[in-house]
Amino acid sequence: MAHRVVVTGLGVCASNGLGVPAFRDALAHGRSGIAPITRFDASALRSRIAGEVKGFDARALLPAKVVKRTARFTQLALVAAHEALAHAALPPGDARENAAVVVGTGVGGFDVLEEEHAVFLERGPGKFAPLTVPVIIPDIAAGVIAMETGCRGPNLACSSACATGASNIGTAFDLVRSGRCEVALAGSTESTISPFAIDGYCQLHALSTRNDDPAGASRPFSADRDGFVIAEGAGVLVLESEAHAARRGARVLAELAGYGASADGHHLTSPDPAGRGAVRAMRAALADAGLAPSDITVVNAHGTSTPLNDPTETRAIREVFGAHAGALMVQATKSMTGHALGAAAAIEAVASVLALVDGVVHPTINLDTPDPECDLDYVPNRARRADVRAVMSNAFGFGGHNAVLVFRRAVD
């Protein structure tokens, strides 16, 4: 028997909002979180801007022992997890004993690896931090969340590049609806704002170099876009079976109704030009949710602001939605947050749920001159109030990973 799965809690650390209230306000007002890099001297790099999570002080938010033994990507995930659990009012103790944690990352502790490798090269073996390996591995955020929250059910981390957040939420969705657990913390995290990582993306010609206009640099679907803006962050959702949420009197924010996944099998970094993998994932998510294309109100687009993704995604949306494509509102959260890589889809899942809760469709900012190949309604520059009934959230990653979620408004 398949159980219906609902969302009862949200947590987020994003460049334009630390915590759900600040993030929600920034989305509604079209506020960018992109600014010049402050964590190190970026003057030698071609791209010198990023979506750093402002005001994030792990020492003020987490126990000192945890901070000492974790990388920033784990710290971001843990703060988002604590917020989501508090939002869901899921009490500690027995209520969490069989709660799953499915939280992944695209890269892991890249910044710590870079720092400690420099120490190794300079000082030799046995001189760098002894906990480096457990601190940087991709599954450690999920492990630390379990240690710090008492969620001791299934614990795992999926990694699928920029689709990571949706892959983890979809996997947790399957665990809950299959009855393997009744509650799951699901999402993803990333923090790779480091010189080596940024230069690597620069060498792929993937990043915007609009350094003199940080807030205007991420411009999905715009004719003058020149690449994505790297960012960091985390997003975590509390998922529960509908019956479990009802038994404990939890407030239901939305229903997670469908999940679809596919592979392009095409190229290391470029999407299939025909968008065939994206189309299959979107159609699979709709079928899983039992919804027709006309039931979707909003598509939260992958919307990276890169020359290849934006028109490819537009064509895929048109193929899936047919005549209904013209009635869709298509929003690009990355226009405000930047591209948080493995964390992006989880942050965007939070934004999707907020659209259902608030009836506010956030804008795609910096969209003054649309690319002629991008001809949908991208909600340019200003938020809209709308009767939002269902949201599809797209995520497509390097390696051709595609993962799509469908959220639907909670039944009163």
Structural domains of the chain, with CATH:
5-247 (3.40.47.10), 259-409 (3.40.47.10)
pLDDT values of the chain reduced to their tens digit, one per residue, 412 residues: 678 999 999 999 999 999 999 999 999 999 999 999 999 999 999 999 999 999 999 999 999 999 999 999 999 999 999 999 999 999 999 889 999 999 999 999 989 999 999 999 999 999 899 999 999 999 999 999 999 999 999 999 999 999 999 999 999 999 999 999 999 999 999 999 999 999 999 999 999 999 999 999 999 999 999 999 999 999 999 999 999 999 999 999 999 999 999 998 999 888 888 889 999 999 999 999 999 999 999 999 999 999 999 999 999 999 999 999 999 999 999 999 999 999 999 999 999 999 999 999 999 999 999 999 999 999 999 999 999 999 999 999 988 899 999 999 997 5
Crossing angle for the helix pair 72-88 and 140-149, to the nearest 10 degrees: 40
- Selecting among 151, 158, 162, 181, the annotated active-site residue is 162
Residue 144: C-alpha distances to residues 66, 187, 359 (Å):
8, 14, 35
Calpha distance 285→257 (Å, rounded)? 8
Calpha distance 305→16 (Å, rounded)? 17
Count CB neighbours of 5 within 10 A: 24
- The beta-carbon contacts of 126-133 under 8 Å, at least 24 apart in sequence, are 131/69
The verdict on whether 13 is a catalytic residue reads no
Work out the angle at residue 36's Cα, subtended by the Cα atoms of residues 137 and 233, and round it to the nearest 5 degrees. 35
